[in-house]
Amino acid sequence: MKFFVNITVKHIFVGVLLWVSSVAFAQLNTNRLLSIGRNALYFEDYVLSIQYFNQIIRIKPYLAEPYYYRAIAKIQLEDYEGAEQDINEVLQRNPFLAGAFYARGFARKQLNKLNEAEADFDKALEFSPDNLSVLLNRIELYERQENFEKALQEIDLLIKRKIELDVLGFERGRILFMIGDTLGSLQSFDQLIANDSTSDEGWSMRGLIHLQLGNRAAALNDYNEAIKRNRYNANYYINRGILNYWNKNYKGALSDYDRAIELDPQNQLSLFNRSLLRSEVGDYDRAIEDLSKVLLMEPSFYEALLKRAEIFIIKGEWQLAESDYTTILIRYPNFVPAYYGRSTARKNLGMVQSAYLDIETAQQIEKNKDKIKKELSTNVQYADKESVKDRTKEFDASGGADLAKSKYDNKLRGMVQNQFADIVNERNFVITYYALSEKMGQRYYNFIAETNNSGILPSMLKITNKEIALTSASIDFHNQSINHFSHLIQDNADNAQLYFGRAIDYALTQDYNSAINDFTNAINVNSDFALAYFCRANIRYKQLERMVNDQEQTIDAEENFLQKNKDKTLGTQQISIEKKFNYDFELIMRDYDRTIELVPDFEYAWFNKANMLCSQKDFRSAIKYYSKAIEINPEFAEAYFNRGLTLIFIGDDKDGLSDLSKAGELGIYQSYNILKRLKK
């Protein structure tokens, strides 16, 4: 109390000023943190982005946006419960955010809260009736609810609206197959293949249908076509192996299983099928080896245990056979074949009385089989020979098809992985401390070595186009490094390297505006600082990329609202955005040009500039710059790859395919998958 009494008017006035300024700072700070957090989110630094959004929530818990973006990051990390809770907070603060309903619906779908997810998707579609991502997720939701009729109606409606999306035809055919309409399913995949003969999944699914119908020749042809288009899907080889086995082409079947296991060493079905084939041709030791691998991965795979026990009997390894049969009988005490098998093993081990008891038990079970079945019809402890072998029926012809999986599952995470190699350009090269893979065979660059050898930076700079997200520890380290550089700059404001070092730290923590400011400060001190120009261009490009992505990905609820109300504001905004894009693009190109002026033999500046020109569809100029990069460094695989794709895009297939071949030779293995598809 005395403290308050003794406060003077001057102190009160100063306190009010401090309070007002702190509010203004909080406003500025939260906007900046939100921007940085969205940068981190866009560039997949999910842990870092959550830290930024946490800071905003602590400062201003009443804002909806940080909860929304934190939910998106949690979805990417598969924390669906946390994402659902965050979206609940969003909708309490802003019940008109269509994207929030979509995000919560997606999270709830993953949590198997299907009815709640459906309500969220319906609400999102009220705001944005034509949003394809929401519609596709709702179709998949109907499938999970086994409401196949509704799913088909939605797909047919989209097809009638002439939405050209192969996934619609695929899903239609897959659902029809699941509900037993084989003819309708076959017609759907016929149409899908007619529209897009490069679809390996289309060929595979049609092959599965032919296989189920017993059309072995047609099925084999379709799997051959699927494998031609995608040599990296183990399931295709498994199913073709089944067909080769049925056709008594044991060599071909074994080769297919070998390839499937090479692609997926943990694929139990491949190993099990190969063990059956090896056993049939008398290769018992290697059959046991395969079965043992299966059982190591899944000890409860009783079909494999049964087969191994049978092979042990053939080989006369009685103790091992007895052990496997006993394991089966512990789980399935009414399984007759195991008693007979164990009886044989025990008899040969000299356990005559136990062997006799096993035979007697088996006979009693067979005698009372119907009664036991009735009593244990709901008890998983009961099994006859057919139920234990259910997984091996016809080598499990449908096992490789993965029918339960939706083609468009997890679309929100963007974290959807293609079977094909994506036909997209290799990304820009950047300067960083961290890299998933550093550019191999890099030449010596004096201007980079000078910076690395200055002793100012906390680590060595690398050149890469495969960056990695920072860990929490790395983030803390770079925040401390920013503070360290800031103290040094106070006493050395004319040291360009200090600004550059702090700029790198800002860039790694996704604070792009601060990074650009410091790169600019470094250039102001040293106008010939080539690395600063190059890095500033890269960061400006990342900002531009995120801005463009925001425009493309935003759910169009606002647009629908404005159109309904005949508001012209949106058009004005689009013009403004276009002007900003052109201005930023020009700044980026100037920085790359200045880098090239200072260091003409730095191939990465030529490469990045070519990528920028490709983004603007100036393909002829882009090819010229890729060629210059290759002229400087004839081992530049990424330049061959991008030039190859660009040449093919403008119709020069011969030179384009040659470039892709060279890129593959130099280590970009995706080239080979693309080459195979483009040669069709």
As a whole number of angstroms, the distance between CA 556 and CA 134 comes to 12
Task: Write out 539-607 in H/E/C secondary structure.
Answer: HHHHHHHHHHHHHHHCCCHHHHHHHHCCCCHHHHHHHHHHHHHHHHHHHHHHHHHHHHHHCCCCHHHHH
pTM recorded for the entire structure: 0.52
Strand partners, 432: 462
Phi/psi at 566 (nearest 5 deg)?
Answer: 55, 40
CATH class entry, domain 433-678: mainly alpha
**Displacement of CA 407 from its chain's centroid (Å):** 13
Do domains 20-146 and 433-678 share one topology? The answer is yes
As a whole number of angstroms, the distance between CA 231 and CA 212 comes to 23
The 3-state DSSP class for residue 664 equals helix
Strand partners, 24: none
Nearest to 611 by CA among 594, 595, 626, 632: 626
Nearest to 315 by CA among 351, 278, 352: 278
**Displacement of CA 401 from its chain's centroid (Å):** 20
The 3-state DSSP class for residue 52 equals helix
In CATH terms, the fold of domain 20-146 is 1.25.40
Nearest to 301 by CA among 268, 334, 323, 330: 268
pLDDT at 550: 67
Mean pLDDT of the chain: 79
As a whole number of angstroms, the distance between CA 547 and CA 557 comes to 18
Residues of the chain with confidence (pLDDT) below 70: 1-28, 159-169, 370-422, 437-442, 550-577, 665, 672, 676-677, 679-680
DSSP code for 429: P
pLDDT digits (tens, 9 = 90+) for 643-661: 999 999 888 888 988 888 7
| Sequence ranges of the domains in the chain | 20-146, 433-678
Nearest to 365 by CA among 375, 353, 354: 375
Contacts 24+ apart (CB under 8 A), 384-390: 384/334, 384/335, 384/336, 385/335, 385/336, 385/337, 388/302, 388/303, 388/306, 388/328, 388/332, 388/335, 389/303, 389/306
Place of tokens 């929100």: 412
pLDDT digits (tens, 9 = 90+) for 21-49: 333 434 557 888 888 888 888 887 887 88
**Displacement of CA 217 from its chain's centroid (Å):** 35
Rg (CA), the chain: 32
